[in-house]
A and B are shown apart, each in its own frame.
Chain A
């Protein structure tokens, strides 16, 4: 089962919000005799399935389609390791990629154990 780690990213959040919208939405159907019926557009179950599919897709996309490296340096404010999940908060961090340098005052890193997941495929 793929990590659900990436649900709290821009991509994942926008998907969750969209799904929520569709769940909340009800479609109004009116007919001539002015009776209306409402039905959910999608069920929460279906939304869950979509999210699971998203987990698989994003995990595999990251593992296979991304090939770049980033370095960073900063000062560690807090660290936590609970339920096999690391959470760090760093301050005054510089992220360095080949092409650009990004500075942030504060960054929170959430990382799951990556040893058990399929290693990067060699293509």
Chain B
């Protein structure tokens, strides 16, 4: 049973997380003006159809508004925290070029992203055990080569507490 819609791959989590445009924290709002007809706006239409879901998934706190058929020329407009506005003309550009351009001007660079990733890793120690929300593993029994969980494989007699205490009482 296939998914519904024209390009249902856009509605998969794998596709959404493949978006690589992550805006800087100063970008607050984004406005896309495009036309529903005409080949000058073709790249903008493809951008809205394919790339806007990826961008919004990666930047949930940026407000994105779409305006159709308001002006003859298609453009993007970004509103930054400092009050500055960035106008990007997207006439006669393919959607890939548009994403590359905005990634270059307003996206977080790879070094910033790697640095943030390292900061997040530093917060939690990978060698501890506990609930899945805070640790990697819950119990030592999950690791290959360690004693398996007694819920699935009974422990050998020598390791069981009742055997050990009875042996001690006898002796």
- A and B are partners in one complex rather than unrelated chains: no
Chain A interfacial positions (CB closer than 8 Å to B): none
